[in-house]
Amino acid sequence: MKGPAIFLAQFASDEAPFNSLDSITKWAASLGYKGVQIPTWDGRLFDLEKAAESQTYADEVKGICAANGVEITELSTHLQGQLVASHPAYDKLFDGFAPTQVHNNPEARTAWAIDQVKMAAKASERFGCTSHATFSGALMWHLMYPWPQRPAGLVEEGFAELARRWKPIFDVFDEYNVDACFELHPGEDLHDGVTFERFLEAVDNHPRCNILYDPSHFVLQQLDYVQFIDFYHERIKAFHVKDAEFRPNGKAGVYGSYSGWTERPGRFRSLGDGQVDFTQIFTKLGHYGYDGWAVLEWECAFKHPEQGAAEGAPFIAKHLIRKPTHAFDDFAGGDVDGDMIRQVLGLPTN
């Protein structure tokens, strides 16, 4: 496993050192980060269209990062991926994720989003990235709770439509040898293991349909985030190191009561401040041979982002596991042969 790395989306701003790729990567490296995950929608840091079209531009971006001591871990199209599939109920809210020329035009916005994600596949290949971070979008999130009763076949058609939109995108990712990794997240049709499985079946188990593992979203859903790795480790190709806590009370639980982040029972926290057992997670991922990046995604309603970032690099570094080359008790072993094995078992030797 490689790391520590940091997702830049929550830190980019109009203020130095967060307003350019050069200055923000210097800042990240100064905290001990070795990699950066780049949000492709933030023009202060990155131009996705140029990266897809020009190897020269991609080399310039790589050069800036390398000169400042960091690598590009993945590109992210979380906002664009959200718009690949979006229910009309969210049109006004999600227009803000897209350029003004496609506002109030859902079909044009969807086409723009699909083109953006496809460009990210090509740009990823230019950077030598083999994984890409994104969202699935949602046609059915407003139907999550089964009331009113869902008509038979509705969920199946929802996944079928989601598959129709994503399968051609996966084919582009396959062309560029990049895995599309969905962050399984409330608000997305793909938000847990079951929904991922249903979608995977709908896209005929496409090899480029994979997972960005983020335990924080599973804490908020009360899902076993450690056992999840046992089930899906073959599809986990990216990793957000993000903490969370769930503290239900007599008035509110999983659904959060429309409360703000500081009042919700389920809340994202800075690394080490929540309930996620990262020792178990890093151990499990190491056991299964995960060799991608461990990337901090910082989101916390209580702590300043710069403090969270400064604490995040040593936290991740402390949890990185170097796999052993031999068993810890090899010193007590000895040479064995077939006759000795049979003797130990109390069986006659040959």
Range 308-315 average pLDDT:
98
pLDDT band at residue 331, thresholds of 50, 70 and 90? confident
pLDDT tens readout for residues 112-152: 999 999 999 999 999 999 999 999 999 999 999 999 999 99
Q: What percent of the chain has pLDDT over 70?
A: 100
pLDDT tens readout for residues 314-324: 999 999 998 87
H/E stretch holding 106: helix 106-127
Please name the amino acid found at residue 76.
Answer: S
- CA distances, 160 to each of 7, 114, 164, 202 (Å): 31, 17, 6, 6
**Nearest CA-CA partner of 237 in 200, 306, 289:** 289
The chain-wide mean pLDDT, for the chain, equals 96
pLDDT band at residue 99, thresholds of 50, 70 and 90? very high
Other C-beta atoms within 10 Å of 38: how many? 28
User: CB of 323 within 8 A of CB of 162?
Assistant: no
Other C-beta atoms within 10 Å of 273: how many? 17
pLDDT tens readout for residues 54-89: 999 999 999 999 999 999 999 999 999 999 999 999
pLDDT(3) > 90:
yes
CATH class for the domain made up of 2-344: alpha beta
* Sequence spans of domains, the chain: 2-344
* Calpha distance 278→286 (Å, rounded): 12
pLDDT(332) > 90:
no
Look up residue 98 and give its DSSP letter.
S
pLDDT tens readout for residues 9-22: 999 999 999 999 99
pLDDT band at residue 309, thresholds of 50, 70 and 90? very high
- For the record, the structure tokens of 329 come out as 């008790």
